[in-house]
Structure 1
Amino acid sequence: MAPQIVVLGAGYSGLLAAKLAARRTGAPVTLINDRERFVERVRMHQLACGQPLAELPIRELLTGTGVEFVAGRAVRIDAGNREITLAGRAEQLSYDLLIYALGSHAELDSVPGAREYAHTVAGFEQARRLRDRLRAGGSVAVVGGGLTGIEAAAELAESHPDRQVRLVTGGELGAGLSARGGRYLRRALGRLGVECHEGLQVSQVDATGLRAADDEKVLADTVVWTAGFRVPGLAADAGFAVDGRGRMIVDPTLRSVSHPEVYGVGDAVAAHRAAGQELRMACATAIPSAQHATRAIAARLAGRTPAPLRFRYFNQCISLGRRDGLVQFVRADDSPVEAILTGRAAARYKEAIVRGTVFAQRHPGVTALV
């Protein structure tokens, strides 16, 4: 009898994994997610700036796949009995094989006041609350100099040219870019009027803005927090092997090292390249991990030995508003080369990549060939 496969989480990796698991194995697949809409997380800074996004109901995206969808928030995994408890439901959902794809959310507990006073662009509701807050006007400080922070600051400055936008980072702005990429980034943010504060370690957030470790004050009517992400605690609570950040530890086929009936994909998993490098949290790694995990499951069910994950980085795509962008080409290990693409061409490139992630969800057969 075919095993019951349950996929927990319907982000970029989970939704695709559910569709590919059904396609590749022929087994019954149930997808569990806490909301009924697919969230284009890489567009949340656009939503925060008041731009309308396409409605993407998960049930519609699953049409014709045979995947059963259950809307609910998982609160417990009983690894011994292979059961999942959903909030507000007495009955348990059973699985033979579990694909753990719960993703990540903003880290708001590392600095006092961040949870009380800061906004994020890590989820749909959070981005919508930020959009509503921005309608009140005033200055904005974006904390975090990673790709999320850079994109948020640029989008805010372009969408709200009448207000001051500050970008605050504890390190060097664009540290992962080439020299050419870094210079372009600074010029682009300068054109947008973004005020950059580098090497500033935020020690507190309050109603008036930010305070740094050296007691420097950065005033802001609204604080946007993009400085770090954390994963849900369900994997650790279930007894799955996790690392120091709570990410599930998996082998080269993306199977849990402690529970062979469990596979992990996306941000909530500590996956590695063959050379040992841990994959960063990104949409760019979520989709390939879903592809590989479902191939591994299908191989094992067919009595074959699955191949290990083979992954290389190709580029980092950064939107700088709607009319500008920066594509930093990188080596296999994500280190930058000097080649970059900029301007409107880069903006179109990034938009094509983002649209491609939704295309992959609508047409899993295409990704199945990859």
Structure 2
Amino acid sequence: MQTNSHLTDTQHIVVLGAGYAGLNTALRVSPYAKVTLIDPSDRFTERVRLHQLTGESPDVTHPLVELLRGTGIRHVAARAVDIDLAGRQVRTDDGRSVGYDRLVYALGSVTDTRAVGDRVHTAESAVEVRKRLLGASGRIAVVGGGLTGIELASEIAESHPGWETRLLTAGVVGTGLSDKGRTHIRKTLGVMGVQVEEGRRVESVDEIDADLVVWSAAMRPVTQLAAKAGLELDPAGRIVVDRTLRSTTDPAVYAAGDSAATSLRMACATAGPTGAHVAGSLLADLRGLPAKPLDFRYVVQCLSLGRGEGLIQPVHADDTPRSTVLTGSAAAFVKEQVVRHTVRTLHVNAHRARAIRKAETGGDAERTAA
């Protein structure tokens, strides 16, 4: 086993998922071990921008080839369908079997529509929502008063004023925000013409009087594959891990992002940092050193309200809101910079990986982990 910073071809890390968590892990580990990234898509998607696709947003994806070039990471463009923990193998839907020494499970989360079936749209189908809205009019209901639901409702109302937009939520809108934050949300949505219905619990799509329903009431981790493999899940369906984000079921498996059972909420703001932490835990493991426990502290919650408005909610380390807020165009600007920073971080990690690999391989930066 390698005990210094040099490259080693004796340890193979397989990362499932090319989202915020998976990519951060893969890029940070790639200078020091063989890394294979398994994801069916050839592009990284900025999930925090999906709501913008209901309006006139440009593409919110980035080619993986640009991020991975020169890092040595091998991308397997397929979907993982089975994990053999005993044999340390991942099988994919195109018939391949990929062996690993360490596995990182970072398949993220999706909007949970199990209670309502496939009769609704979600943030993941924002492009289809936009197609339905263009050149037409009617009534649209967004279900879910969390940050994603608020962003969807405001984006739709601003981009498609011919539609009557409603936001339905079982509790209050913006539960994790301060009173000032919620007041600003209600006022801004009202100006946009969005009818906010708080305390409205939706049990069935049939009870919603709308031509189109966009569901944003809950998220669920994509951990069916983990459950099938025998990894322990918590009641929320997330992989049970220790404080270093290592599976308590199998020490060869780590979980990052929304897949990991931590006290953190499922979000881009937590996915990237947990991916980085898993990279550190992996490298400590490969070097025979003790890994550090995860230490994450929240700073802000931020959301856009259309293209020119926003809300920045400063929070305490435990994610509870402070009393002050930033609103208006200044908040929209800060929100945009925060979103851009996530992609910049990936490019910085990629650049660092290329530089280290180039130095370690004597200039052969294109060497892959194949």
1:219 aligns with 2:204: no
Alpha-carbon distance between aligned partners in 2 of 1:297 and 1:265, rounded to the nearest angstrom:
12
1:354 aligns with 2:348: no
- 1:16-57: per-residue Cα shift (whole Å, max 9, x none)? 11111113xx11000010211111101111112232125411
Aligned to 2:86: 80
1:236 to 213, 227, 239: 227
Alignment of 1:163-178 (within 5 A): 163-178=163-178
Is this contact kept in 2: 1:143–1:149, CA < 8 A? yes
1:17 to 15, 25, 36: 25
TM-align CA RMSD: 1.5
Which structure 1 residue ranges, 4+ long, deviate > 2 Å from structure 2?
A: 365-368
- State the identity %: 48
The one-letter amino acid paired with 1:65 is T
Report the CA distance between 1:246 and its aligned residue: 1.8
The TM-score with structure 1 as length reference comes to 0.90
CA pair 308-366 structure 1, distance change in 2 beyond 3 A: farther
Aligned to 1:6: 14
Is this contact kept in 2: 1:360–1:366, CA < 8 A? no
Is this contact kept in 2: 1:266–1:281, CA < 8 A? yes
Q: Secondary structure at the match of 1:202?
A: coil
1:282 aligns with 2:267: yes
The one-letter amino acid paired with 1:46 is Q
Count of paired positions: 343
Q: Secondary structure at the match of 1:161?
A: coil
Q: Secondary structure at the match of 2:118?
A: helix
The one-letter amino acid paired with 1:131 is R
The one-letter amino acid paired with 2:177 is L
1:64 to 55, 67, 70: 70
- Consecutive unaligned residues in structure 1, runs of 5 or more: 212-217, 272-277
Is this contact kept in 2: 1:148–1:226, CA < 8 A? yes
Aligned to 2:252: 261
Alpha-carbon distance between aligned partners in 2 of 1:93 and 1:304, rounded to the nearest angstrom:
27
Aligned to 2:131: 132
- Consecutive unaligned residues in structure 2, runs of 5 or more: 1-8, 354-370
Aligned to 1:118: 120
Report the CA distance between 1:178 and its aligned residue: 1.0
The one-letter amino acid paired with 1:258 is T
The TM-score with structure 2 as length reference comes to 0.90
Alpha-carbon distance between aligned partners in 1 of 2:12 and 2:328, rounded to the nearest angstrom:
48
The one-letter amino acid paired with 2:18 is A
The one-letter amino acid paired with 1:183 is T
Q: Secondary structure at the match of 1:337?
A: coil
Aligned to 1:251: 242
Report the CA distance between 1:365 and its aligned residue: 6.3
